């Protein structure tokens, strides 16, 4: 029976992993479908090219990507026009500001699900604009850790300065990323030019995106409040229509380890 129990656990674990992967693929497929409205050729559609890169990085099969493109460009079954981008704003436990971006074909359903998630975890869904002013949307370009130059700050600074002097976009800064890579920040409208300029300089660009950056952090020092806030963020991210969740939550690493341990 021990072997049976182990196999049952493996099957349950695999089912959870497969379900999460399926949810990710669904969200990425919607992004591709919406982006493809502006054209099915990624060479001339930067938004589509960005969505496809994200999908490939997540391991989404090529067939799924092609179907999403066909759907969005009107070449396949279904209608890409049915999805629209919406944003919700609210507060989590401890006054943490939360931004939720979604792609939905039913605003009423999505709003109800988001409101319920906020309410169940001690938060509150607010009006549009109630916390948006606490964030700034920027371009973010990820550089691979495999590139030895990512550990050379002088080389990066020289490259960014040269890019600006040549008429390219001005970088707003950079920060270490997980796994030893780097993230370079730029203005919202500069995403395509920034990643293209860094690539032409020989940097190993592994991803790029628009991201909401909190300008005023909300520090939580109470374990239970932090736990409730993390549950809220997880609940929002688990919603099918949600594509991203951003907060201005800040907590000490020791407390985070305690809460998540």
The SS3 assignment for 10 reads helix
Bridge-partner residues for 104, per DSSP? 84
The residues spanned by each domain of the chain are 2-81, 83-133+216-260, 135-214
83-133+216-260 matches 135-214 in fold: yes
- The fold of 135-214 is Alpha-Beta Plaits (3.30.70)
Dist CA 32 CA 52 (whole Å):
7
Structural fold of domain 2-81? Arc Repressor Mutant, subunit A (1.10.10)
| Tens-place pLDDT, residues 115-168 | 999 999 999 999 999 999 999 999 999 998 766 666 677 888 999 999 999 999
Domain 83-133+216-260 of CATH type 1.10.4030.10? no
pTM to 2 decimal places = 0.79
Mean pLDDT of 232-246: 93
Secondary structure letter of residue 73 according to DSSP: T
Q: Find where tokens 């890579």 sit.
A: 181
List pLDDT tens digits, range 62-86: 999 999 999 888 875 555 458 889 9
What's the number of CA atoms in the CB half-sphere (13 Å) around residue 23? 13
- Which element (helix H / strand E) includes 231? helix 223-237
Greatest extent of the chain over all pairs of C-alpha atoms, in Å: 70
| 10 or 39: which leads in pLDDT | 39
Q: Are 94 and 229 in contact (CB under 8 A)?
A: yes
Q: Which pLDDT belongs to residue 226?
A: 95
pLDDT, mean over the chain: 86
**Distance between CA atoms of residues 233 and 226, nearest Å:** 11
- Crossing angle between the packed helical segments 223-237 and 107-120, to the nearest 10 degrees: 160
How high is the pLDDT of residue 146? 62
**pLDDT score, position 2:** 40
């Amino acid at each position: 029976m021990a072997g049976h129990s182990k196999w049952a656990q493996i099957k349950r674990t695999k089912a959870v992993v497969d379900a999460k992967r399926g949810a990710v693929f669904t969200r990425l497929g919607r992004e591709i479908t919406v982006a493809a409205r502006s054209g099915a050729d990624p060479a001339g559609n930067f938004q589509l090219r960005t969505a496809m890169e994200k999908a490939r990085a997540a391991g989404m099969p090529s067939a799924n990507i092609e179907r999403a493109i066909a759907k969005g460009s009107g070449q396949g079954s279904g209608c890409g026009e049915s999805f629209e981008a919406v944003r919700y704003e609210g507060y989590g436990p401890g006054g943490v500001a939360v931004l939720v971006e979604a792609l939905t074909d039913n605003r009423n359903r999505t709003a109800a699900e988001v409101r319920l998630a906020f309410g169940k975890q001690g938060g509150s869904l607010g009006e549009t604009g109630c916390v948006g002013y606490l964030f700034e949307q920027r371009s973010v370009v990820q550089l691979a850790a495999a590139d030895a130059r990512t550990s050379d700050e002088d080389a990066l600074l020289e490259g960014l300065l040269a890019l600006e002097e040549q008429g390219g976009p001005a970088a707003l800064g950079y920060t270490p990323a997980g796994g030893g890579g780097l993230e370079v920040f730029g203005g919202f409208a500069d995403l395509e030019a920034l990643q293209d300029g860094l690539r032409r300089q020989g940097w190993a660009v592994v991803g790029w995106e628009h991201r909401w950056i909190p300008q005023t952090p909300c520090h939580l020092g109470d374990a239970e409040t932090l736990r409730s806030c993390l549950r809220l963020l997880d609940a929002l991210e688990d919603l099918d229509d949600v594509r991203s969740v951003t907060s201005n939550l800040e907590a000490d690493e020791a407390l985070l380890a305690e809460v998540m341990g």
